[in-house]
Amino acid sequence: MEYVERINTELKPKVDNNLGKTVLDLFAGCGGLSLGFESVGFKTIGYEKLEDAAQTYRNNLIGDCYTQELDVNTAYPNADVIIGGPPCQPFSVGGKQMGLKDSRDGFPIFLSAIEQVQPEVFLFENVRGLLYKNKWYLQEIIEHLKQLGYKVSFRLMNAKFYGVPQNRERVIVFGAKDVIHFPSKLNYKVTAGEALGELATQIPENAKFLTPSMDKYIANYEKASQCINPRDLYLNRPARTLTCRNLAGATGDMQRIKLPDGRRRRLTTKEAARLQSFPDWFEFHGNETGIYNQIGNAVAPYFAMNLAKEIKKYFQPNYNGENHPMKDENGQLLLFHEPKKLYQTKQMQNICSKEA
């Protein structure tokens, strides 16, 4: 099955009444993570503070999405699973990595939701920066969740190994009463060329070509950053990571396609959605910049579907979970330095306090 047909058919939302499980999606965005879960039969309820993104969710998924800015005191309905991508700016490798000192940190909200709802399973994803300067914080989160009675496992995963035509690394954390297996890598990869097809060589009506001054700016940017190969889209490999910044902004690392005649143009929203594994029938609500942001912030739906399948297996009779060592996708153990326990425990107590 070709890539476009695969995402258009396999990602169609449906409700599996035999499964009968409800998922809360916190910080849901436009619904990329929820779409993966609905595609295998889960019922979803989303929470998203931006109205355009919430409307996109409602327009395409079966479940409802509440336009609401969450805090540690938010009340939630009963649910079997909680999923989400707590705001990741504090832990981005490209950011300042302020962690707990950054007001954009969404983990206290996510943890308070788990304490309140006590779901059977939870899943959260975050940028790989959570394994670097702030890896002690991930360990604190895991220890806190273990104290709530969950077995927690995590892995650094790349969506390109799970049917997404994009090199997109994310930290995935599973929690349940028994350990949930991580999905196995697929036996194929999808290139940007396979995903875009004829779109890559066409000139759409809304095409935005790079001006000579932009070309010069990019050349200077790549020289200063010691970039060996131009950062154009290469059709014979998965795309580099899509972000809000390189989709919506006229920056040196913007996502762009080089046409046969040598001209370069920015990716359209349709092309960006394809590379993020959104089906062609998925319609985004909002202006162009907002749509780029929705796409760049989303969990790739086809990757999410692979994660959702493993959680669905967990709910099947006779599921056999095992304790797996924490490894990355290359089989390397993920180890932590010994934390400063007193300091970190006080930090975690402070941020999880519902009186804060």
Each residue's pLDDT tens digit, 297-326: 999 999 999 999 999 999 998 887 654 445
In the chain, % of residues over pLDDT 70 = 83
Looking at the chain, the domain(s) classified CATH 3.40.50.150 span 3-188+300-352
pLDDT over 80 (residue 122): yes
pLDDT band (50, 70, 90) for residue 91: low
Residue whose entry in the numeric block shows the structure tokens 């993570």: 33
Reference 288, options 307, 316, 311, 266; nearest CA is 266
Q: What is the mean pLDDT of residues 138-143?
A: 92
Reference 12, options 61, 46, 76, 54; nearest CA is 61
pLDDT band (50, 70, 90) for residue 273: very high
pLDDT over 60 (residue 13): yes
DSSP-derived letter for residue 239 is B
For the chain, where are the E strands, in sequence order?
22-26, 43-48, 64-67, 81-84, 121-127, 151-158, 169-176, 256-258, 264-266
Reference 160, options 91, 53, 225, 238; nearest CA is 238
In the chain, % of residues over pLDDT 90 = 63
pLDDT band (50, 70, 90) for residue 333: low
Per-chain mean pLDDT for the chain: 86
Residues 125, 128: Cα–Cα separation, whole Å: 9
Q: Which CATH number fits domain 197-297: 3.40.1350, 1.10.10, 3.40.630, 3.90.120?
A: 3.90.120
pLDDT band (50, 70, 90) for residue 356: very low
The two three-digit tokens of residue 70, written as one number:
């969450």
Reference 47, options 159, 280, 63; nearest CA is 63
Most confident of 93-97, 208-212, 300-304: 300-304
φ/ψ bin of 10: left (φ > 0), alpha (ψ from -120 to 50), beta (otherwise): alpha
pLDDT over 70 (residue 199): yes
pLDDT over 60 (residue 348): no
The predicted pLDDT at position 133 comes to 76
pLDDT band (50, 70, 90) for residue 275: very high
The predicted pLDDT at position 347 comes to 47
Look at 202 and 101; give whichever has higher pLDDT: 202
88 counts as catalytic: yes
pLDDT over 80 (residue 232): yes
Q: What is the mean pLDDT of residues 263-281?
A: 95
User: Which CATH architecture best describes the domain 3-188+300-352?
Assistant: 3-Layer(aba) Sandwich (3.40)
Q: What is the mean pLDDT of residues 140-148?
A: 94
Q: What is the mean pLDDT of residues 117-138?
A: 90
Weakest-pLDDT range from 11-15, 16-20, 162-166, 223-227: 223-227
The predicted pLDDT at position 337 comes to 39
Catalytic residue among 30, 65, 88, 352: 88
Looking at the chain, the domain(s) classified CATH 3.90.120 span 197-297
pLDDT over 80 (residue 11): yes
pLDDT over 90 (residue 296): yes
pLDDT over 80 (residue 72): yes
Distance of CA 49 to CAs 104, 209, 267, 312, Å? Answer: 13, 33, 27, 28
Look at 259 and 55; give whichever has higher pLDDT: 55
